[in-house]
Amino acid sequence: MRAMRPHQWVKNVFVLAALVFALGEIGPDAPTATERIVRVLFAAGAFCLGASAIYLVNDVVDVESDRLHPTKRNRPIAAGLVSVPVALVGSVACVAGALVLAHLATPEGGQSVVIVVSAYMFSNLLYSLKLKQIAIVDAFIIALGFLLRVVAGAYAAAAPVSHWILLSTLFLALFLAFCKRRAEIDLLGAEAAQHRKNLGQYTPQFLDQATTVLAACAIITYSMYTVDEETAAKFGADDRLVWTVPFVVFGLFRYLLLVQRQEGGGSPTRMLLGGDAAFVVNAAAWGAAVLGCLFWGK
């Protein structure tokens, strides 16, 4: 279970994005609401198993380099706690489970969640085998994974997704990917390129500039979503969602501060799971504010 990295499953909250905003349109008492929720949860489960399948393959591919890494050497496969054959069998089982759940998540006559989950696993397999060694390409593959999560949730919920949400997701995912690279370079120092080729192609100056630009883009596109006329018309919420923007700004700035102060900001999942109290409280407050804006007064 530890080799499957269940703590990374928190990233699949992006699968729920379409559902959360769709419920404002559907209404909690609508006849199809329960069905949509169940299908979206199946989709989230598919991404959990799909991600674990790739993590197992990734750790098999990187087993030798992980043994030289100060923290990755403690991963079960690198530490010899899980054998390579067992890891590969587990990966195949996870792929099978992911495809079954994706099939259950697909609404009758709707867009196929199976195709989206398959595209996610295939792109991440290419990432593990080769693409993670190519600077910038590696970040875009990570961002693609987040976009596919949002699209899969939309397909499962049979709900449209705003182009502003897709753009915001893209910029946020790129922001997190480059923050992770910045944290890795800080941790490994001069030996960074020896652990992963692409780290030698990045510079701290480039990563600082990229994360600053991407944070701004994420804030702007999310803000545009909150004040978009289509958003107001869909949810009957006027422009009240704009009050959730400060939470997004605070969260991005807090995360960027942790990265640049080298305080473990390279992992958003660890931040959400209690790595930084201010980050966790802000994330919870943003979620409560979104739900309050969508359902208040209805």
Compute the radius of gyration of the chain from its Cα atoms: 19
Structure confidence at residue 19 (pLDDT): 75
285: how many CB neighbours lie within 10 A of its CB? 15
Structure confidence at residue 291 (pLDDT): 81
Structure confidence at residue 270 (pLDDT): 66
232: how many CB neighbours lie within 10 A of its CB? 15
Structure confidence at residue 45 (pLDDT): 96
Structure confidence at residue 128 (pLDDT): 87
Residues 6+ apart with CB under 8 A from 9: 48, 51, 52
Structure confidence at residue 7 (pLDDT): 85
Helix, strand, coil content of the chain in percent (nearest 5): 80, 0, 20
Structure confidence at residue 298 (pLDDT): 54
pTM of full prediction above 0.75 = yes
> Please, what are the averages of pLDDT over each run of 10 residues along the chain (298 residues)?
88 84 54 79 95 92 81 85 92 96 90 94 92 91 94 89 90 92 79 71 90 95 89 71 93 88 65 75 90 70
